Structure 1
């Protein structure tokens, strides 16, 4: 039995994780948090998330939750700035950490890396197994097709998403630049006006926002006389939650280090 603490349990991902963990035989929720001032603080976590009583009280501080329960791992999708603080709380108490937040600054990523010297951390912009397979395939397609194809990344998310491009789109851009031997300077994030002909080295990364789109990512490979489109469409948040639970099972007992979903899924030689 793996004992988990879930943060932000009334949010989209927090409530999804709570429901999935509740229905999973080898996992037990032993702690739950919400932001200070939330009306959920002090309530039963299951009732706060409209799932039925779980006999776990919501608190407004992860450190308190960890001090009150013997947890093996924390799962967190709260947001980059808050997630860094949660990683520090886990590092201080020797608890593994699974983080699906996006939008980290370079400084935030550096702080995660420092925490990972003390505890094992899985941090990934997208926990979906399907998306991570798409990332791997995109890297291989870019390597095989080579410089003769123009590459573009298009992502779409709901109107409430705060960061752009999505963390998944940025990860796709990262593996594509690595496969093609290009650099961050070759990435173009917007186009407007008289921009001239498309540079041969360019990789475009474009963003759409609207409605309730859970998440869509497409990589286009444009060649002469042919086009390849590699697409992943998420229709619910369950696949993110299931991937995070898979990461939680995997990370418990690992040595300290900063891991990603490629490690969880056993990919070798991932770009």
Structure 2
């Protein structure tokens, strides 16, 4: 299967090049960067630090739609609209891992999914998506009495906070408990605060060094607490999951899907 990348020069783009290179059924056929990027024309393998692969980076406007079966987008929100429009215009399925999207961009995504197949997930790790299932089970059992907090840590360069994965964990818990995360989330505490409202879901964010990604859902009651934690030690974990999603998506009809669909966790 011929897979194309948006933002091949990005942190995740380079790891995706490596993941595609090691896959026995996927071929990296297109690696796009900004039209005015200094990376245009550079071999993608050299860009990723794995040696020449005989595929050069190209500007978005230079992509030949016939060269790709499915696209993967892990760029920033600023590039999202143009990338999504390219996929809709050229009728190409797309796997989206961009986080920090606005409500307007989420609406664009939902509209695009009526025309093309889209996988959209905050995190493409198999372990994290299993964690989303586990926190729902914990919420059912403990949510009536436990205080719930979500703690996440990432590298110093991450621009959105809390992370998309932390928000997905919060949404999963809130949905299970019949709460609205928009009104029950607490994103910071400082100074003298009133006693904790049991119905809130707290978030704590750490940005430091080269932490790849750590997430903990804490269910704390009087006398005991349960912590469900996922720690990623390599971005290849996310990249391999995204390639798995791309392989799965290539045979799907138009619609918006998540990693729970790719991994059949709903069955």
Q: TM-score range by the shorter chain?
A: over 0.9
Residues 117 and 64 of structure 1, relative CA distance in 2, 3 Å threshold: farther
Distance 2:167 2:89 in 1: 30
1:64 aligns with 2:70: no
- Partner of 1:233: helix, strand, or coil? strand
- Range with bigger deviation, 176-185 or 32-41: 32-41
Q: Give the C-alpha shift of residue 64 in structure 1.
A: 2.5
Counterpart of 1:171? Answer: 168
**Residue 23 of structure 2 corresponds to which residue in structure 1?**
24
What is aligned with 2:225? 227
Distance in 1, matches of 2:82 and 2:196, equals 42
Number of the residue aligned with 1:207: 205
Q: RMSD of aligned C-alpha atoms? A: 1.3
Q: Is the 8 A contact 2:30 2:67 kept in 1?
A: no
Give the alignment of 1:110-125 within 5 angstroms. 110-125=107-122
1:45 aligns with 2:44: yes
Which residue in the other structure is 1:157 paired with? 154
> Post-superposition shift, 1:31?
0.6
Matched positions, count: 266
Cα drift, residue 39 of structure 1: 1.9
- What secondary structure does 1:151 align onto? strand
SS in 1 for 2:228: strand
Match of 2:99 in 1: 102
Q: 1:10, CA displacement in angstroms?
A: 2.2
| Counterpart Cα distance in 1 of 2:198 and 2:18 | 48
Match of 1:87 among 80, 84, 94: 84
Instruction: Measure the CA separation in 1 of the matches of 2:119 and 2:82.
Output: 15
- Note if contact 1:80-1:102 (Cα within 8 Å) is conserved in structure 2: yes
Cα deviation 1:47-79 (Å, max 9, x = unaligned): 233322222221121x53143x43110011111
TM-score, normalised on structure 2? 0.96
Q: CA deviation at 1:257?
A: 0.6
Q: Which residue of 1 aligns with 2:265?
A: 267
- 1:252 is aligned, of 250, 253, 263, to 250
Write the distance in 2 (CA, Å) between the matches of 1:186 and 1:58: 45
SS in 1 for 2:83: helix
1:139 CA displacement: 1.0
Residue by residue over 1:237-258, the C-alpha shift from the partner in whole angstroms, topping out at 9 and shown as x without a partner, is: 0100010011001100211011
1:195 alignment counterpart: 193
What is the rounded CA distance, in whole Å, between the counterparts of 1:39 and 1:27 in structure 2?
27
**Where do 5+ consecutive residues of structure 1 fail to align?**
none
Residue 73 of structure 2 contacts residue 95 of structure 2 at CA under 8 Å; is this kept in 1?
Answer: yes
